[in-house]
Amino acid sequence: MTEKIDKLLIHIRQKLGDLNIPLPDGEYEYAALPLCVIDAVFSLGVRYESTWRTVCDWCARYHWEKERARAAEERTVTEFLHILQPYENRWEQMATDVFRNRQRTSTRSGILKAEAVFRFAKTLQRFGVDTFADILKFGLRDDLRREIKSIPGQGSGLSFNYFLILAGNKDAVKADRMVTRFVANALGQRDVPQELAETLVREASRILRLEFPKLTPSLLDHAIWKYQRDQDDTVSKGCRS
């Protein structure tokens, strides 16, 4: 493991440069936890433009503020589910009428992402997570992660990890194809397991914090993803998949 960490650190220093640079203004600053759920579920495997439209459509239709800095109040998971509850088990109608997005979690036997969002939110509610403060208390607890991963299409854990990042968890890492590709390149391998990439990025962040005191795993994740995305002209700007 030490050799892998050393290789990743060398690659990071060569490719990423100054890691004191903060996130762009407004990055990961949704005004409500349910918006993080919508983004995390709908963004998986698609161009981000469609996800952003889905978030914006929700906010426009239900008069929710998108940006945390502009919100007079924090909308909750309970409020979100109150809106969705009449559509439970009417997933086609929920996808069409509420989210205006009929994407599925998988092209093969996947459920509608609208249903996945509902089930994700219901799981949060069952664990007593209603606000940003609630989820930040949970940290990286495995019991909640396991429940979210049991939802069809969420088995990789990527949506849950991205949800944590969007919610402000500084220890979360979303080892998507951009991040795993970066780590694989650092190690001189064709690919690496998602779990290993997460562990290595988190450990690299801990070591680099001596040099860059404000660096967190989620900030390093973002810097890696942004660099790798820019190397791949086929990936749409802003897409986490």
- On whether both 69 and 177 belong to a single domain, the answer is no
- Which residue is associated with the tokens 């998602």? 194
**175 Cβ neighbours under 8 A, 6+ residues apart:** 158, 161, 183, 194, 195, 197, 198, 201, 221
> What pLDDT band is residue 28 in, cutting at 50, 70 and 90?
low
- On whether both 38 and 153 belong to a single domain, the answer is yes
- On whether both 49 and 159 belong to a single domain, the answer is yes
- Residue 241 inside a domain? The answer is no
- Which residue is associated with the tokens 């092209």? 107
Q: What is the pLDDT of residues 169-193, one digit of tens each?
A: 999 999 999 999 999 999 999 999 9
- Residue 122 inside a domain? The answer is yes
- On whether both 45 and 141 belong to a single domain, the answer is yes
pLDDT of residue 232 exceeding 90? no
- Which two three-digit tokens encode residue 112? 């509608």
With the CA atoms of 33, 204, 10 and 19 taken in that order, what torsion angle do they form, in degrees rounded to the nearest 10?
Answer: 50
- On whether both 78 and 61 belong to a single domain, the answer is yes
pLDDT of residue 237 exceeding 50? no
Range of the domain at 206: 2-25+173-231
- Residue 201 inside a domain? The answer is yes
- Which two three-digit tokens encode residue 192? 């690496």
Q: Among the three residues 128, 152, 167, which one is the final residue of a domain in this structure?
A: 167
CB of 223 closer than 8 Å to CB of 230: no
> What pLDDT band is residue 235 in, cutting at 50, 70 and 90?
very low
pTM here?
A: 0.87
- On whether both 66 and 146 belong to a single domain, the answer is yes
- On whether both 44 and 151 belong to a single domain, the answer is yes
**191 Cβ neighbours under 8 A, 6+ residues apart:** 180, 181, 184
- On whether both 225 and 211 belong to a single domain, the answer is yes
- On whether both 21 and 42 belong to a single domain, the answer is no
- On whether both 52 and 120 belong to a single domain, the answer is yes
The total domain count for the chain is: 2
> What pLDDT band is residue 26 in, cutting at 50, 70 and 90?
very low
Q: How many CB atoms sit inside 10 A of residue 7's CB?
A: 17
Q: Among the three residues 113, 144, 167, which one is the final residue of a domain in this structure?
A: 167
Dist. CA 52–CA 110, nearest whole Å: 21
Q: How many CB atoms sit inside 10 A of residue 101's CB?
A: 21
User: Which residue in 79, 92, 90 sits closest to 121, CA to CA?
Assistant: 79
Q: What is the pLDDT of residues 30-89, one digit of tens each?
A: 999 999 999 999 998 888 889 999 999 999 999 999 999 889 999 999 999 999 999 999
- On whether both 99 and 124 belong to a single domain, the answer is yes
- Residue 239 inside a domain? The answer is no
- On whether both 178 and 162 belong to a single domain, the answer is no
